[in-house]
């Protein structure tokens, strides 16, 4: 018998090898973009991948993967729609686009529970969970419902965004979910004409300095450029990792996927 408060992996995730949460302290830093490209990178490596869009207030995974649902139903379980070979579950399949969701506490918990337990996820090597920004009810609820192998933090390079990451990292720590590392998004811009590299935001002081200053060390696993085609490909429903597989950016994502897999295998 499990002890009280002990978290056990739900039946529906029994055949899911790795659960990776993608979170951030701040909104709009590129979590969903990183989540879909990472999922695509795992897929390109020949793995079975699912994405759970846990951003129930602002679901953006379905359009980013060019899928509008709805899920099928089989044996009283939802069957996730598939986009680019990736199984997807999102509240965006079940609500109208202009519905304002104000679920909190118990109802929110119930909806998330359905997304996990009443979905036929089947066999997956990776289930990537796209979180809403911050440290709210969704994060806490999820942590009580499933066992995640780790959380990937996303930030932009400014110091303020970084401070928000630290806050989020503290929250994950409290719920015993290890942080696998950090992705610094919109890190730099490469001029398409001359190739010159420009930092868009004030550049951070480097990992070592951060460690001293913040009292936490989170390894930076990748730096992603700010690039029109990253946004454009998401907009068209095909992550850049699939749309431009030979691009430098796709290579950065493939490398990131490898690093994360390495961390999980330890
Ligand atoms: N590296 C990038 N280069 C160019 N555009 C980007 C990049 N990363 C993200 N974007 C764009 O920035 C916007 C916000 O990205 P995204 O939706 O992934 O952020 P988010 O952190 O998931 O936001 P939210 O907190 O609202 O869930 C999107 O339009 C996306 O296409
Ligand atoms: Mg998002």
Which residue in the block uniquely carries the two structure tokens 């691009």?
247
What is the Å distance from ligand 2's center to 131 Cα? 7
End-to-end CA, the chain: 28
The whole-number pLDDT of residue 28 equals: 92
Q: Where are the domains of the chain?
A: 19-190+204-265
Residue range 73-91: mean pLDDT, rounded: 95
Question: What is 19-190+204-265's CATH topology?
Answer: Rossmann fold (3.40.50)
Atom of ligand 1 nearest to the CA of 130: 22
Q: What is the pLDDT of residues 148-205, one digit of tens each?
A: 999 999 988 876 677 788 888 888 988 899 999 999 999 999 998 999 998 877 765 5
The CA–CA distances, whole Å, from 66 to 9, 29, 30, 92 equal: 30, 21, 18, 12
Q: Kindly give the distance from the C-alpha atom of residue 11 to the centroid of ligand 1, in angstroms, as a whole number.
A: 33
Q: Residue 108 has what pLDDT?
A: 82
Average pLDDT over residues 7-15: 92
Closest residue by Cα to atom 28, ligand 1, is 231
Is the omega angle on the peptide bond into residue 71 within 30 degrees of 0, that is, cis? no
222-245 pLDDT, tens digit per residue, is 999 999 999 999 999 999 999 999
pLDDT for the residue 161: 72
For residue 217, what pLDDT band results from cuts at 50, 70 and 90? confident
Q: Indicate if the pLDDT at residue 209 is higher than 50.
A: no
Q: Is a pLDDT exceeding 50 seen at residue 212?
A: no
CA 49 to centroid of ligand 2, rounded, Å: 18
Q: What is the DSSP string of 153-178?
A: EEE-SSHHHHHHHHHHHHHHHHTT--
Considering every ligand atom shown, identify the ligand nearest to the alpha carbon of residue 249 and give its number. Answer: 1
How many angstroms separate the alpha carbon of residue 232 from the centre of ligand 1?
11
Pocket probe mutation, ligand 1, options 234, 247, 248, 256, max atoms within 8 Å of Cβ: 234
For residue 99, the model assigns a pLDDT of 65
Span 22-59, pLDDT tens digits:
998 889 999 999 999 999 999 999 999 999 999 988 89
Neighbours of ion ligand 2 (CB under 5 A): 31-32, 55, 60
Q: How high is the pLDDT of residue 56?
A: 84
- Asked if residue 107 has pLDDT above 60, the reply is yes
Mean pLDDT of the chain: 88
Pocket test for ligand 1, best of 30, 60, 62, 248 (most atoms within 8 A of CB): 30
């Amino acid at each position: 018998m499990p002890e009280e408060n002990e978290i056990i992996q739900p039946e529906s995730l029994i055949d899911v090898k790795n659960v990776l949460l993608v979170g951030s302290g701040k909104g709009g830093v590129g979590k969903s973009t990183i989540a879909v490209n990472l999922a695509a990178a795992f897929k390109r490596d020949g793995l079975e991948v699912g994405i759970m869009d846990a951003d129930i207030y602002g679901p953006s995974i379905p359009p980013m993967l060019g899928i509008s649902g709805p899920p099928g139903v089989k044996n009283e379980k939802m069957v996730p729609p598939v986009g680019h070979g990736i199984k997807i579950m999102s509240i965006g399949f079940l609500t109208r686009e202009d519905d304002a969701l104000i679920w909190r506490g118990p109802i929110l918990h119930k909806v998330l529970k359905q997304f996990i337990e009443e979905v036929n996820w089947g066999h997956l090597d990776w289930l990537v969970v796209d979180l809403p920004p911050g440290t709210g009810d969704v994060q806490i609820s999820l942590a009580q419902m499933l066992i995640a192998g780790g959380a990937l933090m996303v930030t932009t390079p400014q110091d303020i965004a970084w401070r928000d990451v630290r806050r989020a990292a503290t929250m994950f720590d409290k719920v015993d979910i290890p942080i696998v590392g950090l992705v610094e998004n919109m890190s730099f811009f490469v001029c398409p004409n001359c190739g010159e590299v420009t930092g868009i935001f004030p550049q951070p002081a480097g990992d070592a300095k951060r460690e001293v200053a913040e009292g936490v060390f989170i390894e930076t696993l990748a730096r992603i450029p700010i690039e029109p085609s990253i946004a454009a490909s998401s907009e068209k429903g095909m992550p850049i990792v699939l749309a431009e597989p030979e691009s430098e950016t796709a290579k950065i994502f493939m490398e990131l996927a490898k690093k994360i897999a390495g961390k999980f295998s330890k």
